[in-house]
Structure 1
Amino acid sequence: MSRTVFISGASSGFGAACARAFARKGDRLVLAARRAARLDTFAEELRDQARVYPLVLDLRERAAVEKALASLPAEFAEVDVLINNAGLALGLEPAHQTDLDDWDTMVDTNIKALMYCTRLLLPGMVERKRGHVINVSSTAGDWPYPGGNVYGGTKAFVNQFTRNLRADLLGTGVRASCVAPGMAETEFSQVRFKGDAARADQVYADTRPLTAEDVAEIILWIADTPPHVNVNSLEVMSVDQAWGHLAVHRHRGS
């Protein structure tokens, strides 16, 4: 039976790859993103495979999200799978040098947008006694690195929020899962470095990072597990990435 799948941040990266993966299954798709032209073109691409409802929406705007989700067409209103994918990192400066506007944007996008979509779509899932919330986190939510500061903090929120959802949803039949990818080559670094393509390319130079399609296939597998199975969390890295050594500051000549 086909599902209705709501994907945030759906016009690029993990979100677009998820849309393609679920479209191949014949699921109905609600694709939410801010960039209207890109979203419309992408939705048209998928219509040969699936029913698609493009939703041009800034998920950081609570009132707009409330209105949009309350106004979904009947065919798309009963969301079975929510993929909270919208998120970004901005900057790599240390905490004492970063731009507070960047911190605000990361909190609004990575935390608030996820909260709004979850809170507004969850009651219907609970009422129907079925559904699945899949949150896209990051290895940065567990493993710190210089310059990760608020980005890592927002992803730690995603991890813990998903665990608390599991506690709240016990007995409802609704599932909650968290996927935490490591380094993956998407638009992520170009966004982080605000369009500096050369700097973004250096992140992936001479290595084989994850692809958006790798992560999408994992998310699809999680959604396709039997209804009594809940994948609580799944962390995934390329074989070319691992945890770093513990940093030590050495006082020279003191």
Structure 2
Amino acid sequence: MSTDQTPTRTAVVTGASSGIGAATARALAAQGFHVVCAARRTERIEELAAEIGGRAVTCDVTDDASVAALAAQVPTCHVLVNNAGGAVGTDRVDEADLEGWRWMYDLNVLGLVRVTRALLPALRESGDATIVNVGSTAGRWAYEGGGGYTAAKHAVKVLSETLRLELNGEPIRVCEVAPGMVRTDEFALVRFGGDQERADAVYAGVDQPLVAEDVADAISWVATRPSHVDIDELVIKPRAQAAAHKVHRT
């Protein structure tokens, strides 16, 4: 009788307590990964980890010590999904709430840098690793009232490109998955400070915006390509969305 000696591959997903992060954790678990679910909301990630047979690690990507504690629990990492992110406000540049802009940059950009830097030894240890950075079409288009968020997501795009250059020659792939309009429970609600009516208006009349599982499916696909295949970037939008300013509504 033969036994399967293939070692379990480990994936780390940040921002795993909801939305794209939670869906990605489920998708990678379905592909056979042992998933480390990292986020600030402990109860949520503990429930998710129990559901998928993974592990919950409470982590705030804006805190150096918290990220170091995460890395200490992951000696080997095959896939890192830098998903933690978010947006607040729709202020114009000439009325910018700099605290909000600072929060977005720290979470979306510096958080990605903290986690990647901390987990690079574990990624190298695997001998065959993939970094997936969750960007956005906001990293490709500008739009009024989106300066703080688009600046942060443009930075994610450039960071992904820079990492690919700097890690060239090492067995680590770097991909950015950049979703367009995705309807999740929290993204728009957080952006509009809990105003459910304004959050709902973002998707009003749009025939089938993306959902978290659509993006998770793309991330899982990227992470499971043959190791010599690097999907540099993958932009995924609903059919109804042609551009930031061009969304078909009924």
Whether the TM-score (by the shorter chain) exceeds 0.5 is yes
Q: Which amino acid aligns with 1:107?
A: Y
Q: Which amino acid aligns with 2:190?
A: V
* Counterpart Cα distance in 1 of 2:125 and 2:38: 23
> Which of 66, 78, 92 lines up with 1:80 in the alignment?
78
Q: Structure 1 residues 61, 244: CA separation in 2 closer, same or farther (over 3 Å shift)?
A: closer
* Counterpart Cα distance in 1 of 2:12 and 2:76: 10
Structure 2: 5+ residue runs without aligned partners? 1-5
- 2:14 is matched with 8
- 2:227 is matched with 227
- 2:106 is matched with 108
1:188 correspondence with 2:187: yes
- 2:3 is matched with none
Contact 1:91 1:98 in 2 (8 A): no
> Which of 37, 62, 69 lines up with 1:31 in the alignment?
37
* Counterpart Cα distance in 2 of 1:42 and 1:228: 31
Q: Report the aligned-residue RMSD.
A: 1.5
Q: Structure 1 residues 153, 165: CA separation in 2 closer, same or farther (over 3 Å shift)?
A: same
- 1:204 is matched with 203
* Counterpart Cα distance in 2 of 1:170 and 1:148: 33
TM-score normalized by structure 1? 0.90
CA shift at 1:67, angstroms?
2.8
Q: What pairs with 1:1-254 in structure 2 (closer than 5 Å)?
A: 1=6, 2-47=8-53, 52-70=54-72, 72=73, 76-186=74-184, 187-207=186-206, 208-243=208-243
Runs of 4+ in 1 over 3 A off after TM superposition: none
* Counterpart Cα distance in 2 of 1:179 and 1:31: 19
* Counterpart Cα distance in 1 of 2:85 and 2:197: 22
Task: After superposition, give the CA deviation of every residue in 1:167-214 in whole Å (9 maximum; x if it has no partner).
Answer: 111111110000110010012101101111111011011112111000
* Counterpart Cα distance in 2 of 1:128 and 1:191: 36
* Counterpart Cα distance in 2 of 1:54 and 1:127: 21
Structure 1: 5+ residue runs without aligned partners? 247-254
TM-score normalized by structure 2? 0.91
* Counterpart Cα distance in 2 of 1:42 and 1:113: 22
Identity %: 43
* Counterpart Cα distance in 1 of 2:242 and 2:146: 16
Q: Structure 1 residues 108, 217: CA separation in 2 closer, same or farther (over 3 Å shift)?
A: same
* Counterpart Cα distance in 2 of 1:124 and 1:44: 24
Q: Structure 1 residues 20, 181: CA separation in 2 closer, same or farther (over 3 Å shift)?
A: same
Contact 2:37 2:55 in 1 (8 A): yes
How many residues align? The count is 238
Q: Structure 1 residues 101, 112: CA separation in 2 closer, same or farther (over 3 Å shift)?
A: same
* Counterpart Cα distance in 1 of 2:141 and 2:77: 33
Contact 2:15 2:83 in 1 (8 A): yes
Q: Which amino acid aligns with 2:193?
A: K
CA shift at 1:39, angstroms?
1.8
Q: Which amino acid aligns with 1:190?
A: L
* Counterpart Cα distance in 2 of 1:143 and 1:56: 33
* Counterpart Cα distance in 2 of 1:199 and 1:185: 13
